[in-house]
Chains A and B, each alone.
Chain A
Amino acid sequence: MSKQRLATVWLDGCSGCHMSFLDMDLRLIQLSEMADLVYSPLVDTKQFPENVDVTLVEGAVSSEEDLHKIQAVRQRTTTLVSLGDCAVTGNVPAMRNPFGTKAVCERAYCENVTLDPGIPDQVPRLLSCVRPVHEVVAVDVYIPGCPPSADVIFYAVIELLNGRKPDLSVMTRFGA
């Protein structure tokens, strides 16, 4: 049996979920025997490839870049997994929602800046509202947690690679 194709994506999040992914330590080797990591912030691929079996998404959808990226990812992925609270609920990135984009940018780039204040235009434009991944594209599996532990991620990925849909509510929860 040929190896499955696994990918991870980093949207608006702190990368803690990816750290937790790396926390699998030795089990990463076991994982690599079952699947190739074809795209990830941890590897050097620039383009999200076609025909990915499982993609783990960290982070909420915050900017236009996130939006385009996740739509492409969804198209090229069989099983899309929301990994961690930012992807699942919006979490900390979504805390800006009640204030509106303008106020948040002004606070970040003008009010609290002494050197050359001003809202930059080279960075991807923020969406008016930060959304969890499933509000934008269909999501197949949810792994809440901030971050989900390496045990949970390992269990979930192994189950998915074996063609089973894991029930994760007993192992993890919002904020876990």
Chain B
Amino acid sequence: MTPSTGVKTLKIDGRDFSARPDETILDVARENKIFIPRMCELNGLSTVGACRLCLVEVKGSNKLLPSCVTHVEEGMEVTTTSERLTHYRRMIVELLFSERNHVCSVCVSNGHCELQNLAQKLGITHVRFPYRNPKVEVDASHERFVIDHNRCILCTRCVRVCDEIEGAHTWDIMGRGVDAKVITDLNQPWGSSATCTGCGKCVHVCPTGALFEKGRSVAEMEKRRSFLPYLTLMREEHE
């Protein structure tokens, strides 16, 4: 029986929940304090389904579905944690660590980093794959901020917050595969950007220490995210 109100009922990890049809599995999980790991998703920004950490099992589907972009359906039975999912999530986090040069001990975000925290949560004590050790740059040309590509995991939160919330679209992506990188304007030094408003939103949505404020030393860069739900809410009410 489908409720005529449009409200969907579903099961997540064996518990019953109701949801609006426009909600995603992750929305419902978040409301109900069920933790699903993710890196690219941030509440208040559009979803891209790119990091693949939020994949969940849905009964009747032989595919794993990204919970951040999968809308709820009536009668859905979702499993957010299983041995298989944890195995994949560990591998994905290990891949992120192996991709660039993440040196937690000397990172401004040490202790406040989403990647570091997730690794611990998933029980990762070492990375099984050889490190790629790429030579990537650090752009400190901006007056107040720095982008250290060594620590970037290409979640594109900076790209989206700049475009969707600040409206400047200073950030974007160039290159393919492991050579992809976030750029300011048309790959110009950040400090010379004509579009950057210096609002710092990109810095604070960044999950790692890739974007940080100048003058912060090891472990001193704590990100403040509270502005984002507020701005999103205000915008929605305005519309």
A, B assembled together: yes
Interface, chain A (partner B; CB < 8 A): 82, 85, 88-92, 94-95, 97-99, 129, 131-132, 134-135, 139, 142-144, 146, 167-170, 173-175
Binds A, one of B44-52, B101-109, B139-147, B166-174: B101-109
Can you list 13 contacts pairing A with B, beta carbon distance less than 8 Å? Answer: A82-B126, A89-B103, A91-B103, A91-B105, A92-B103, A94-B103, A94-B133, A97-B101, A98-B134, A132-B127, A144-B125, A169-B120, A174-B102
A173 and B124 CA atoms in complex are apart in Å by: 8
Q: A88-B126, A134-B126, A175-B116 are in contact. Are A146 and B131 (CB under 8 A)?
A: no
* Residues in B whose Cβ lies below 8 Å from that of A88: 125-126
Chain B minimum-CB-distance residue to A14? B105
Q: Is the CB of B111 within 8 A of A135?
A: no
Q: Is the CB of A94 within 8 A of B105?
A: no
A129 CB to closest chain B CB (Å) equals: 7
Q: Is the CB of B125 within 8 A of A169?
A: yes
B15 CB-CB contact with A under 8 Å: no
Chain A minimum-CB-distance residue to B133? A97
A173 and B134 CA atoms in complex are apart in Å by: 23
A104 CB to closest chain B CB (Å) equals: 12
Q: Is the CB of B126 within 8 A of A98?
A: no
Interface SS, A side: mixed
B119 CB-CB contact with A under 8 Å: yes
Q: Is the CB of A169 within 8 A of B101?
A: no
A89 and B119 CA atoms in complex are apart in Å by: 13
* Residues in A whose Cβ lies below 8 Å from that of B102: 174
Q: Is the CB of B124 within 8 A of A169?
A: yes
Chain B contact residues (Cβ within 8 angstroms of A): what range? Answer: 20 to 34
Q: A94-B131, A97-B131, A98-B133 are in contact. Are A85 and B104 (CB under 8 A)?
A: yes
Q: Is the CB of B101 within 8 A of A98?
A: yes
Number of A-B contacts (CB under 8 A): 74
* Residues in A whose Cβ lies below 8 Å from that of B97: 89
* Residues in B whose Cβ lies below 8 Å from that of A173: 104, 116-117, 119-120
Q: Is the CB of A132 within 8 A of B105?
A: no
* Residues in B whose Cβ lies below 8 Å from that of A132: 126-127, 131
Further pairs besides A167-B123, A170-B120: 15, Cβ < 8 Å = A82-B126, A88-B125, A89-B127, A89-B131, A94-B103, A94-B133, A129-B133, A139-B126, A143-B125, A144-B125, A169-B123, A169-B125, A173-B116, A173-B117, A173-B120
Q: Is the CB of A95 within 8 A of B120?
A: no
Q: Is the CB of A99 within 8 A of B126?
A: no
* Residues in B whose Cβ lies below 8 Å from that of A170: 120
A152 CB to closest chain B CB (Å) equals: 11
* Residues in B whose Cβ lies below 8 Å from that of A90: 131
* Residues in A whose Cβ lies below 8 Å from that of B125: 88, 142-144, 168-169
* Residues in A whose Cβ lies below 8 Å from that of B63: none
In order of increasing CB-CB distance, the 7 nearest A-B pairs are A175-B104, A146-B105, A98-B135, A97-B133, A142-B125, A173-B120, A169-B123
A82 and B125 CA atoms in complex are apart in Å by: 10
B110 CB-CB contact with A under 8 Å: yes
* Residues in B whose Cβ lies below 8 Å from that of A89: 97, 103-104, 126-127, 131
A131 and B132 CA atoms in complex are apart in Å by: 11
* Residues in B whose Cβ lies below 8 Å from that of A95: 101, 103
B130 CB-CB contact with A under 8 Å: yes
**A99, A139, A167, A175: the one within 8 Å of B110 (CB):** A175
**B106, B111, B116: the one within 8 Å of A92 (CB):** B106
A133 and B105 CA atoms in complex are apart in Å by: 18
B129 CB to closest chain A CB (Å) equals: 9
